[in-house]
Amino acid sequence: MSRAGSGERRSAIEVLGVSKVFGNGDDAVRALDNVDVTIRENEFFTLLGPSGCGKTTLLRLIAGFDFPTEGEIRLYGEDIAPLPPFKRPVNTVFQNYALFPHMTVAQNIGFGLEMLGKPRPEIAQRVTEMLKLVRMEELRNRRTSQISGGQQQRVALARALAPRPKVLLLDEPLSALDFKLRKDMQIELKRLQHETGITFIFVTHDQEEALTMSDRIAVMSKGRILQIGSPRDIYDRPAERFVANFIGDTNFLEGTVTAVNGSKARIALAAGGEVEAGISEGVKPQGNVTIVVRPEHAAIVMAPGQDALRGTLENIVYFGTDTHFHVKLASGPHFIIRQQNRHGAREELKVGMPVGVEIGEHAAQVLKD
């Protein structure tokens, strides 16, 4: 087991070769397919993917609402996969909050401690502490039906944090909130994680949410984890087409490898010109490959240089903070460039003009497939 040493944090959750099959025979659905992932202590870890990718199933297995068909789930080294949920020091914030409607806010928050058999004064003190943490002191004796969605969200968080779980699981907890509240709660969640020092496992399909909050992200699709990395890794160095496509806007370009030099490869693009592209760990590029370039990592120029891709400006879309330029490359594919709008920006680009696309340094990344 990989442990402490060399400044590496301890692992809180280790998922080892976990598969989950629902149904049997011909109707069997493989919701999780041999998943391995290690979540470190005190980490804000996000499981990101479209609906049906298995992220919620994985969360349910960690919570104990379901049991894996194969594999182990370790909590600080101990296999918890066969334990029922009430024997796991892991708490969940549910998507619909699942607050007990027949109890007050304080009773909801104290429920876990009460079930653990803590003495009353301790429960009362901890409830007060949690109410303060989520800034809800004045709503202590309200019924949960008498408070707003955002407040319910805070109560759900306080309730799950009150018993000091080793790991907190969050199942798309922000999806029911409106835009403004969601932004506030993102910051709030980050603060709570920082203040409590508890490992958070967060499930979402919202890539922006994942990028802004996480220490690390695991991108999932069809029951598999495709890539694990920091938000910057995932965004700047996607390993697979699915990852690149799911997170942010992306340009794909075809090319041929001409040279490999450590973590860089030179690619002769089908669209003309050559670029230097980064290589993800474990990828050995050769022959025909696809590279990705983020729209903001390329520039549109009116007088293209030698390495620029040539094309025609097809469309200009104004977004307020930035502008998107849609270029049809001479070789066929479309390329989107995003440029931040500055005050007094140039207006000389017109639809139909011949333009060049310059790919920035370190902007291109070779994909696995």
Partner 1 sequence: MANASAGKVRAVFGQADAQKQSRTNFSIKRQTGFGVIALFCFFLLYLPIATLVVYSFNAGPSIAIWEGFSWRWYVAAWNNNQIVEASTRSFIIASFAAIVSTIAATMAALATTRTRPYRGLNFIYGFINQPLMVPEIVTGIALLIFFAMVKIWTGYTGLAYLIIAHTAFCIPFAYLPIRARLENMDLTLERAAADLYATPWMAFRRVTLPLLWPGIIAGLMLAFVVSLDDVVITELVKSGGQDTLPTYMLGQLRRVVTPEINAISSVFLLISIVIVTLFFFLNRKRT
Q: Kindly list the residues in this chain that would bind partner 1 in the complex (CB under 8 A).
A: 63-65, 84-87, 90-92, 94, 96, 98-102, 111-112, 115-116, 145, 159-160, 163
The CB-of-91 to partner 1 minimum distance in angstroms stands at 6
Minimum CB distance to partner 1 smaller for 112 or for 273: 112
Minimum CB distance to partner 1 smaller for 172 or for 240: 172
Query: Running DSSP on this structure, what letter comes out for residue 88?
Result: S
CA–CA gap between residue 64 and residue 49 (Å, rounded): 21
The CB-of-269 to partner 1 minimum distance in angstroms stands at 51
The CB-of-188 to partner 1 minimum distance in angstroms stands at 21
CA–CA gap between residue 102 and residue 91 (Å, rounded): 21
The CB-of-86 to partner 1 minimum distance in angstroms stands at 5
Q: Are strands 216-221 and 224-229 parallel, antiparallel or unpaired?
A: antiparallel
The CB-of-12 to partner 1 minimum distance in angstroms stands at 17
Residues contacting residue 290 through CB under 8 Å, at least 6 positions apart: 241, 252, 253, 254, 255, 366, 367, 369
Minimum CB distance to partner 1 smaller for 71 or for 165: 165
The string of DSSP codes covering 264-284 is: EEEEEETTSSEEEEEE-TT--
The CB-of-97 to partner 1 minimum distance in angstroms stands at 9
CA–CA gap between residue 221 and residue 333 (Å, rounded): 26
Closest CA relative to residue 37, chosen from 167, 190, 151: 167
Minimum CB distance to partner 1 smaller for 11 or for 144: 144
Q: Which amino acid is at 274?
A: E
Minimum CB distance to partner 1 smaller for 28 or for 317: 28
CA–CA gap between residue 229 and residue 214 (Å, rounded): 10
Minimum CB distance to partner 1 smaller for 165 or for 285: 165
Closest CA relative to residue 360, chosen from 268, 297, 307, 303: 297
The CB-of-135 to partner 1 minimum distance in angstroms stands at 22
Minimum CB distance to partner 1 smaller for 55 or for 60: 60
Minimum CB distance to partner 1 smaller for 96 or for 245: 96
Helical H segments across the chain, by residue range: 55-63, 105-115, 120-133, 149-161, 179-196, 207-213, 231-236, 241-246
CA–CA gap between residue 174 and residue 83 (Å, rounded): 28
The CB-of-159 to partner 1 minimum distance in angstroms stands at 7
Structure tokens of 7? 């400044």
